[in-house]
A and B are shown apart, each in its own frame.
Chain A
Amino acid sequence: MSAVWRVARAAARRRRLQTIVIGVVVGVSTATMVLALGLLTSASAPFDRAHQQQSGAHLVAVFDGPGDGLAETAGRPAVAAAAGPFAQVTVDVAMTSRIGMPLTVAGRADPGGAVDRLTVWQGRWADAPGEIVLNEPPGERGPWSLGERVDVAGGRTFTVVGFAYSVSRSADAWVTPAQMSALNPDSAQMLYRFTAAGTAEEIAAAETAVTAGLPLLGTQSYLTLKQEVAAETAVYIPLLIVFGVLGMAVAVLIVANVISGAVVAGYRHIGVLKALGFTSNQVLAVYLLMVTVPAVVGCVLGAVLGHVTAVPLLADAFAGFGTTEIAIDAWVYALAALGMPAVVVVTALLAALRARGLSAAQAISAGSAPSVGRALAVQRVLSGARLPRSVSLGLGVPFARPARSALTLAAIVLGVMTVTLASGVTTSVTSYRAAVEPPTENRVELLAAPPRGFPGPQRLPEPTLSDAEDEALLRSLPGAAAVAAVARLPVGVVGGDPAEVYFHRGDRDLGPVVLSGHWPAAPDEVAVPSRFLNQRGLSLGDAITVEFDGDRTRLRVVGVVLTNPADEVYASWSALTALAPGTRAHSYLVELRPGSDRQAYVDAAADGDPGLTPIPPDEGGSSQAVVLIGFATLMTLVLAAVSALGVFNTVVLISRERRRDLGMLKSIGMTPRQVTVMMVTSMGVLGVVGGLIGLPLGVAAHALIAPAMMRAAQADVLDIVMDVYHAPLLALLALAGVVIAVLGAYLPARGAGRATIAEVLHTE
């Protein structure tokens, strides 16, 4: 075996460049696969773990009234375990507090029970009136500290005595049942675990069974929460999987090319090995070892790189979830460590079997005898073409070894496909961002009275004019094209996360685009983003119940709007009048006429009412969009570089195999530049074909990936996301193959042009 190892090591050293190429390509592919599989398998793992530990509720159901008769539902057929009824009320945090969202408070005597066993991770459970325990994930720092006071509307004050965590999100805070009675609860919650809760259908069936005949207000399924948690990372997964598969495919192609090239170029070497007494299997082992070693090294480094990249991504995604246990399943690493080298070895085996089957005499003679010309018809046609001879010779080179050219072409196709896909994804993300956040250059937003929870400076000047006077002022100023008044109210949504309602008055065009249905007009109508509906399992036409200032209002979803956050609700001013009469607009949106002086308008507004404070435009994109675009760009560069490495490798092989031809061409007067042109042309033609094949494949991949990403983000698939490939972009992308081919070919082609040729011409 030592002789095999020694020969394989020498062969790998002799092909140092190709050995490095294999290592790099396998490393990149492994890293991408670890990243993709890691995110895929670990995205919901922390939720599952926490849900199991806490015996989390499969369904949180909220019923109207004091909860009479709810305890009996624990005995209904679908129920495996139940907790409750717990009285529930939504209290409004007073304006003087640091946050403005309403708190859903439940009355519980203790954190244990059969369902939703809370983890009290700091302080203790509330056991006296005036004490409150807040729901925060372990380690998360909320707005309050232990011992701090929470002032709620109505003049009540609570002291924070502990922090507990409910993975089921059954409430925002807990007090004792006695305290809850004093808060006059108007509803009660039941927490259920079902005998079958694996699918949304099973949950829906069980929900029907347990809530039948009862005054149900709303429910929250654990599957919805799980999806929400996984959504952050799920957006990346389709893209990562495709990039991982593309990377692996390119790795396979390059390995096949390197090995078959080594076998072809090494016929004489194989013959000599056999003549020395190497068995066929030993020769096979030499060629397998030659690629397996760099593949394994690349694989290990790639797994480390994938781990280093995946863990921060997961940690970031789960930061709001409260888990510190970020781990990728061991099988992902095992699969990468064994799978990638296995793929490489199988590929190498197929190519190396040729070496195994050659007899010594065959191999030696094959290495020296001139071969019968291949693709001769093509060469003859090109000889007569009115092209520079270096170009026509280059065009014929790919036909000399069709199998190798096919492998190189495939690598280019995958490269072009990657570039096309990534460009499409980037354009989709950018188009989506542009649609949900219209250009701000002609827009001015002026704050009149900060709404509750507004994160900006708290000491703002009070407006001197009334709401109507401010709107009239803004409309009258030079440059104003459209004005809308907006009031924001945080509300509780029964059976789900709280939301922010935006009440609009004035010019409708300044509100978000309505994708389906219509803009709300009546007091009981709202429009919501698709993510709001998808996260809550609702549809257009369904009703939601919101709580504000202790009042509960039922609103009907009449439109789906194009905005990104999942917790925004849009309503007309008439709804505000019904919900919170007398509330003034918190801000004004102004669309200026093109060419207007933005600063002059703001100054004029401030002159009219010093209480109108301009809000700086939000220029930054979302972090997810930045990550997606950054990731797609990075993967494009990496995979395009890997494809170019495939071309590089092919030109190196051709230059070595055809060094005698190159020497002869130089001996009859071909200049180094002409040799470079010839070699670059030989790959450029593959680049052109690769571009034409890879482009539609990339477009097709985008047609699959973009909807998958949108669905993963719990958003609807929009035309602006799908319709991204326009003629100029397609024309540019069609050139991607040529760019990859030329970049990959240039250096070895220039090397071939500069190589000394004297010796090769005089020897056989």
Chain B
Amino acid sequence: MTSDDSAVVELTDVRKEYSDSVALDGLSLTIRAGEAVAVMGPSGSGKSTLLNMVAGLDRPTSGSVVVNGEDLGRLSETGLALYRRRRIGMIFQFFNLLDDLPALDNVALAAQLTGTSPAQARRRALELLDELGIAGRRNVYPARLSGGERQRVAVARALMNRPALLLADEPTGALDSRAGEQVMDLLLDLNQIGQTLLLVTHDEGLATRCASRLVEVVDGRVARESRLERTP
């Protein structure tokens, strides 16, 4: 695969071995700016490992992972942390919000880590919560928010530092259908305004609705790629 100037993510022949198994077996994948790519596959196929590689949460045994021109394999642990802080945003199936902080402070946290002042971070967080329609719940703690609201807070937090790439791991997996729909709409809207998106999901509905390309992973390899026509 040749390097592509518009590529945000380039995985080349990535292999990841654990002590008793191979999670990724020479996987290559390119994601271009503005794309929304959904990764699907059976349990244990290597989807989450793929996401961890792109997020810089794990390192490949061999091969390279380049995001926004930065080879993650060359970065130290601190370098990877700074990469996660500045380049990507992540949302998870189980939200991973801090229970001790209200919605607004959970969102502002991401900016505060970059050295933004508390007041400025809160202003930006409030804007995002407003855009996502939950500004009224800004002072509520995660335990008192619904699942859909928690995921919106998580999305706001992920967008806080204007990431080049938004990573989502089963973002609707823990939500009821109505909340899931809302989150799907949100992701679609984000992609339509240019946000590059990498989704890992079991949910075919989510994939076909939000993604422009579907990558099927089986046994740690890309088994099939297809363009998707988004369903309304």
Contact = CB atoms under 8 A, between A and B. Distances in A.
Interface of A: 370-376, 379-380, 383-386, 389-390, 396, 400, 660-661, 663-674, 754, 756-758, 761-764
A758 B57 contact: yes
B100 A376 contact: yes
Contact of B118 (A384, A665, A669): A384
A380 B96 contact: no
Contact of B57 (A371, A389, A661, A757): A757
Contacts of B102: 376, 380
Given A400-B100, A758-B58, 11 more contacts: A370-B97, A373-B141, A379-B105, A384-B119, A664-B92, A669-B114, A670-B85, A671-B77, A761-B92, A762-B48, A762-B169
A383 B105 contact: yes
Interface string B65-109: 000000000000110011111100110111011111110010011
Contacts of B82: 669, 671
A372 B58 contact: no
Given A373-B99, A762-B93, A669 B84 contact: yes
Contacts of A754: 77
A381 to B, nearest CB: 11
10 contacts: A373-B101, A376-B141, A380-B101, A385-B118, A664-B96, A665-B98, A668-B110, A669-B86, A669-B113, A757-B57
Nearest to B87: A669
B81 A671 contact: yes
Given A373-B143, A758-B58, A668 B109 contact: yes
Contact of B110 (A373, A669, A674): A669
B182 interface: no
Contacts of B92: 664, 667, 761-762
Of the candidates A383, A386, A758, the one having the most CB atoms from chain B within 10 angstroms of its own CB is A383
Contact of A667 (B57, B93, B119): B57
Contacts of A386: 117-118
Contacts of A764: 93-94
Contacts of B142: 370, 373
A14 B180 CA distance: 38
Nearest to B89: A668
B210 to A, nearest CB: 19
A376 B4 CA distance: 48
Nearest to A399: B100
B85 A668 contact: yes
Contact of B99 (A370, A384, A385): A370
Of A666, A671, A764, chain B has the most CB atoms within 10 Å of the CB of A671
Contacts of B77: 671-672, 754
A756 B58 contact: yes
Contact of B100 (A373, A664, A668): A373
Contacts of B57: 666-667, 756-758, 761
Interface residues of B, number: 44
A660 B77 CA distance: 18
A371 B161 CA distance: 28
Nearest to A378: B100
Nearest to B145: A370
Contacts of B101: 373, 379-380, 383
A667 B96 contact: yes
Contacts of B58: 756, 758
Contacts of B109: 383, 389, 665, 668
Contacts of B98: 661, 664-665
Contacts of B105: 379-380, 383
A664 B114 contact: no
Contacts of A670: 81, 85, 113
What are the 4 tightest A-B residue pairs by CB atom distance, in nearest-first order? A669-B85, A671-B81, A664-B96, A389-B112
B230 interface: no
A315 to B, nearest CB: 56
Contact of B78 (A373, A384, A672): A672
Interface in B184-225: none
A664 B95 CA distance: 9
A375 B55 CA distance: 32
Nearest to A666: B81
Nearest to B105: A383
A763 B101 CA distance: 21
Given A370-B143, A373-B141, A669 B99 contact: no
B211 to A, nearest CB: 19
B45 to A, nearest CB: 14
Given A373-B101, A661-B98, A761-B57, A383 B108 contact: yes
B128 to A, nearest CB: 14
A674 B99 contact: no
A386 B117 CA distance: 7
A153 B114 CA distance: 94
Contacts of A383: 101, 105, 108-109, 112, 118
A401 B111 CA distance: 27
Contacts of B52: 758
Contacts of B112: 383, 389
Contacts of B152: none
B141 A372 contact: yes
A762 B141 CA distance: 22
A675 to B, nearest CB: 9
Nearest to B158: A668
B157 interface: yes
Centre residue among A371, A373, A754 by max chain B CB count within 10 A: A373
B86 A664 contact: no
Nearest to B144: A372
Contacts of B114: 669
A667 B55 contact: yes
Nearest to B98: A661
A668 B113 contact: yes
A761 B167 CA distance: 13
Contacts of A671: 77-78, 81-82
Given A663-B96, A668-B157, A674 B118 contact: no
B81 A672 contact: yes
A660 B96 contact: yes
B100 to A, nearest CB: 4
A226 to B, nearest CB: 63
Contact of B84 (A370, A372, A666): A666
A666 B84 CA distance: 8
B98 to A, nearest CB: 6
B60 to A, nearest CB: 13
B49 to A, nearest CB: 8
Nearest to A368: B94
Interface string B23-58: 000000000000000000000000010001001011
Contacts of A375: 100
A667 B144 CA distance: 23
Given A385-B118, A761-B96, A674 B113 contact: yes
A372 B99 contact: yes
Nearest to B53: A758
Contacts of B161: 669
Nearest to B116: A389
A667 to B, nearest CB: 5
A401 to B, nearest CB: 11
Contacts of A374: 100
Residue of A385, A396, A664, A757 with most chain B CB atoms under a 10 A cut-off: A664
Given A400-B100, A669-B114, A758-B52, A371 B143 contact: yes
